[in-house]
A and B are shown apart, each in its own frame.
Chain A
Amino acid sequence: MAGQATAFSPVSQSHLDWLGTDPIPAEPYYDPAFYELERQAVFLKSWIEVGHVCELPDSGSFIRREIEFAKASILIVRGKDGTIRAFHNVCTHRGTQLVEAEAGRQSTFSCPYHMWTFGTDGGLISAPDFGQFHVAKEDCSLPKVAVEVCAGLIFINFADRPPPLREWLGDLADRLDTLLVARATAFHEYVYEIDANWKLTYDNFQENYHLRFIHPRSGGAGTGPENPFGYPVRYGFHGQHRTQTIWSNASAPPPPPAAMLAYAAAGRAAAVNGLGVNDAKDYIALFPNFFLFGSPVQHFSHVIMPIDATRSRGVIRIYWIGEDTSASESFAREFLMATARDIHAEDRAVIEAGQKGLSSGALKNIHFQTQEVLCRHLYQQVAAAVERHQAENAR
């Protein structure tokens, strides 16, 4: 009806029946044996997001990433030819860690122990008194790890023959290409450690049921009288990946003046950069552990790296196009980073409380309601990957 706001109605269970309604076993959220299966079946076989091309602007630019689930230190380098390659940060002489710096720019990498020196393509260039060895230089290149880029995001994969990244991303690959992150040149980042299983942590960020309880102040327009729990407008399922389109309360009271200033400046920047609002309210969840929020004014990624069964690390980045050009733009960026950080801070504490309860072993099952269906989908995808892995190994 003209002039009348459409009443919100949550996605109905009938659209989600195909995912079932059974309780979910609690053990996979704390059991080290299950984590070991996940490590092998999921993390060592999936494309894992580890950075952005804006961190590797020039030939010789590198970043080092510690990947606990693989017990590996990985060096990602832009070569002289412009190609991005990933290597184990391990000297092929006797295994010493090659690079200590977190990031930098070098044309060669020399091992501190006996000075073997490698090029940006991972090849061994020189080694003192190499004539004493019984191996060819060609056989001493740094061990490679598969690396591919989509939408500026750098993914690595520890599998021997992983599928191409775009195939893995399916129909989401083209969509990612249209988002801000594909053109980003700068970012804010904040990092947290958490005493919680990676799935328990991740799930918090794919259900809105908690918003009104955990974010009573910072939740803003995320909830409202017609949608008191702030349930999403839509869910999308894309193979192992999933999306949600968030709802916002159009008649929420205006945010404080600082927020108005920030949104205005960020909106101007988004318009200058020609960013549309197509995916502005979409969360894209890439299996297993990566989120991207489509908003062109607060475009953030969130990756949750498992450390062990009940410890993880979260890395949140808010991406921007171009350096700060004006005072207003700096203000907007800082404000939008700080608001996201406030909200994530509130989540972290309650997730740890959930882990304490689960780790006690008191529960056999946990329960997901209709509007926690994305959590259910993640569990099912993980369980299926573990089953496939076990079946392969049984053969």
Chain B
Amino acid sequence: MTANLPAGFEALEPFVANWAGRTAADRAALRGAYPPAERAAFHAACAPLIERGLRQLDAKPLRDLDEGERRLLDLFLTYAHVSLAIDVQASDEDRHRPLREAMRVTRAPVDF
């Protein structure tokens, strides 16, 4: 069995199954899909890796990313939403979620 993610990002392997959303709408929904503790664990695992991860992925044009690299990027893109939950809304996140559900994401420039 091959690894799901590029070498160096093993710490994120446990999150691939639940957090690697394939479209912007999926990722927006993932932000509120799991218990807060799981979301916090995902955030804590991603935060120290994202800067290095994006720099590494930037070495290739987007369309040339292999499957594992693409999955890593999907995790980071979900992290964009999760960061808003944890770093911005914080204790208001539960109250914020139903407000957000009314705003349907209908298009994104690149939905793989």
Contacts and interface: CB of A to CB of B under 8 A. Distances in A.
B35 interface: no
Interface residues of A, number: 44
Contact of B84 (A320, A324, A326, A339): A339
A326 B100 CA distance: 28
A269 to B, nearest CB: 12
B57 interface: yes
A338 interface: yes
Given A338-B84, A342-B96, A192 B73 contact: no
A342 B97 CA distance: 9
Interface of A: 186-194, 216-218, 256-259, 261-262, 265, 316-317, 320, 323-331, 333-335, 337-339, 341-342, 344-346, 348-349
B96 A333 contact: no
Contacts of B108: 188, 333-334, 337
Nearest to A342: B84
B8 to A, nearest CB: 15
Nearest to A340: B103
B78 to A, nearest CB: 9
A327 B103 contact: no
B54 A328 contact: yes
B88 A189 contact: no
B62 A342 contact: no
> Looking at chain B, what size class is its interface with the partner chain?
35 or more
Query: Which are the 5 A-B pairs with shortest beta-carbon distances?
Result: A327-B57, A256-B87, A258-B83, A186-B109, A189-B107
A324 B88 contact: no
A267 B74 CA distance: 22
Contacts of B51: 257, 261
Nearest to B86: A256
A317 B80 CA distance: 18
Given A326-B62, A338-B28, A348 B57 contact: no
Nearest to B109: A186
Given A337-B24, A338-B28, A330 B103 contact: no
Contact of A341 (B92, B103, B110): B103
Nearest to B90: A217
Given A186-B109, A188-B24, A331 B103 contact: no
Interface in B51-72: 51, 53-55, 57-58, 61-62, 65
A349 B83 contact: no
- The secondary-structure label for the interface of chain A is helix
Contacts of B61: 325-326
Contacts of B44: none
A188 B80 contact: no
A192 B47 CA distance: 31
Given A261-B54, A324-B110, A326-B61, A342 B88 contact: yes
Given A257-B47, A341-B28, A327 B54 contact: yes
Contacts of B19: none
B25 to A, nearest CB: 9
B105 to A, nearest CB: 5
Given A324-B109, A344-B103, A346-B99, A331 B76 contact: yes
A349 B99 contact: yes
Given A191-B103, A327-B57, A345-B96, A334 B24 contact: yes
Contacts of B107: 187-189, 317
B7 interface: no
B22 interface: no
Residue among B50, B87, B103, B104 with max Cβ neighbours from chain A (10 Å): B103
Given A192-B103, A326-B62, A345-B99, 4 more contacts: A192-B104, A327-B58, A331-B73, A335-B83
A345 B103 contact: yes
Contacts of A190: 103-106
A65 to B, nearest CB: 13
Contacts of A324: 62, 109-110
Contact of B104 (A191, A333, A349): A191
B20 interface: no
Contacts of A194: 102
B84 to A, nearest CB: 6
Contact of B100 (A261, A265, A330, A345): A345
Q: Considering residues B28, B57, B96, B107, which has the most beta carbons from chain A within 10 angstroms of its beta carbon?
A: B107
B89 interface: yes
